[in-house]
Structure 1
């Protein structure tokens, strides 16, 4: 591979390449489509799988087909009006309610930290090591509202932390950083549930000086050289919630930390602009999707669950 090919490959994430390869294989092998494709062929493909595949999956398949045509120098048929109308019609006739991760509330976060501290004190050496790592993972993830891919990319050389003063975190790239410039974040030093202390404890115990912060730990308690995969962070969060006996552990995901912080900040009276700047959202609509607000009629409900009379008939 020459230098140009190396940079071209680096421009696309590994997960994206794998997803695109899978999508092209599905179109050609499973569906029996031909490449280069026509607008009619793609429209037929969309119509066939509309009842069984989510609109987000169909859009991913279209993105893969578009990328293939662009890479091979062919006109992109997915941008033609015929294909766009079919996709719009599918969205109208097959609406999907978007699933949202259950937010981790601040009291649940405190319960998780107590669980970690218990394993650190009384668990096996492996359980203690995992708990120190997971404590740092969840506290940094919550207070900085990081996604799982951002947590997986954190590196020791990109963080400056000092006990009692806070930490500065540089994230080289993230979902919304289309220009690939990276962004610096600050995390607070707190009296309780402190992400700075948790981070320093983990780095010291794991003796990390360079490279990924959050790494896998094998059955013998050995720490990997490689970063955790973003998908595995979801499993870690579910497992931590299960071990801490938190109800609905299977409903949590990596977005639970992001939603949990947004919900907490909203309850503390943060205005939308401050929250957007802190987390990195570009528009209010994105922020509102992550905030779980209280039921506006909750104060009108009786203890027996029957609604009171609101106004006159």
Structure 2
């Protein structure tokens, strides 16, 4: 790979590149389409998969095909009117509610951490180093993911040399690139040291126990307690967390994902008086729409608000209610 190819390669995130390659392969190999594609073939591809693939998946497939054609110097068939009309028709006939990970609530976070603390103590006393390492690592993942609202890929891309700990105050984590950082300026996130459920202490405990000096923060651990040199893959976080929640006795663990930590913190923050601007700055959201996708109000069904109004109205004198009635 020459320097030009290296720079072109670096301009796209690995996850995006992998998903786009998979989408193009599905169109060409599994469906039997030809590249470069015509608008009619793309429209037929959408129609053939309208009932089996979600709207978001179809949208991602179109983006991948568009990117392939542009990169190869061909006209983009996905912008043709027939493709747009077919896609709108699929949206109309196959509407689907967006699936969102269930937010991890504070009481659930506390319950999982309590289970982890007991598991850490037991594995230490019984000399099961692999289990102890795994539990200490998972505690750090859980608390950092919650209190900083990190995405799954951010947790797996954390590097020790980019973490700076200030004793008794907190730590800062630097990422050369994040999903929202389209200009490659790099982003730093501050993590507070807390009196309980502390993410900084959990991080330091993991680094010390695993004797890590540089490289990825969170790594795989084999049955003999050997810590891998490579970082965890982002796809491994969901089964890791679901297994953890299952063992900690959290109901319906399959409804949770790595986004559950991010959504859980967003809901905790808004329920405790954080305004949306402060929350956006803390987590790193660039627009209100992104933030609101993660936030559920403290009274999502408006039950408390309505009940309060009913109580106030019931307490009003009858004559006042009659006078206010048009």
Fold-level similarity (TM above 0.5): yes
Give the equivalent residue in structure 1 for 2:58.
58
Q: CA deviation at 1:18?
A: 2.7
Give the equivalent residue in structure 2 for 1:304.
none
Find the aligned partners of 1:141 and 1:296 in 2 and give their Cα distance.
29
Q: CA deviation at 1:300?
A: 6.3
Residue deviations 1:224-245, cap 9 Å, x none? 0000011111111111111111
Once structures 1 and 2 are overlaid, which stretch shifts more, 60-69 or 25-34? Answer: 25-34
Residue deviations 1:273-312, cap 9 Å, x none? 11111111122222122112223115767xxxxx99x889
Distance 1:42 1:267, change over 3 A: same
Aligned counterparts, 1:152-171, within 5 A: 152-171=156-175
Residue in structure 1 matching 2:272, options 251, 268, 273: 268
Give the equivalent residue in structure 1 for 2:317.
none
Give the equivalent residue in structure 1 for 2:324.
none
Aligned counterparts, 1:21-36, within 5 A: 21-36=21-36
Contact 1:126 1:220 in 2 (8 A): yes
Q: CA deviation at 1:69?
A: 0.9
Q: CA deviation at 1:82?
A: 2.5
Give the equivalent residue in structure 1 for 2:282.
278
- Does residue 1:249 correspond to 2:253, yes or no? yes
Find the aligned partners of 2:241 and 2:304 in 1 and give their Cα distance.
30
Residue deviations 1:29-74, cap 9 Å, x none? 2322221111122112111211221111111111121122112111
- Does residue 1:175 correspond to 2:179, yes or no? yes
Contact 1:162 1:196 in 2 (8 A): no
Aligned counterparts, 1:189-228, within 5 A: 189-228=193-232
Once structures 1 and 2 are overlaid, which stretch shifts more, 105-114 or 285-294? Answer: 285-294
Find the aligned partners of 1:228 and 1:150 in 2 and give their Cα distance.
11
Contact 1:145 1:261 in 2 (8 A): yes
Give the equivalent residue in structure 2 for 1:74.
74
- Between structure 1 and structure 2, the one with the greater Rg is 2
Give the equivalent residue in structure 2 for 1:16.
16
Find the aligned partners of 2:22 and 2:172 in 1 and give their Cα distance.
38
Find the aligned partners of 1:300 and 1:251 in 2 and give their Cα distance.
29
Q: CA deviation at 1:175?
A: 1.4
TM (norm. structure 2) is: 0.89
Q: CA deviation at 1:169?
A: 0.9
Q: CA deviation at 1:14?
A: 3.0
Give the equivalent residue in structure 2 for 1:110.
110
Once structures 1 and 2 are overlaid, which stretch shifts more, 133-142 or 40-49? Answer: 40-49
| Equivalent residues, number | 308
Unaligned runs of 5+ in 2: 315-320, 322-326
- Does residue 1:48 correspond to 2:42, yes or no? no
Q: CA deviation at 1:193?
A: 0.5
Residue in structure 2 matching 1:296, options 302, 307, 312: 302
Find the aligned partners of 1:300 and 1:85 in 2 and give their Cα distance.
42
Give the equivalent residue in structure 2 for 1:37.
37
Find the aligned partners of 2:62 and 2:17 in 1 and give their Cα distance.
14
- Does residue 1:127 correspond to 2:127, yes or no? no
Structure 2 SS opposite 1:168: strand
Contact 1:161 1:167 in 2 (8 A): yes
Find the aligned partners of 1:300 and 1:59 in 2 and give their Cα distance.
39
TM (norm. structure 1) is: 0.93
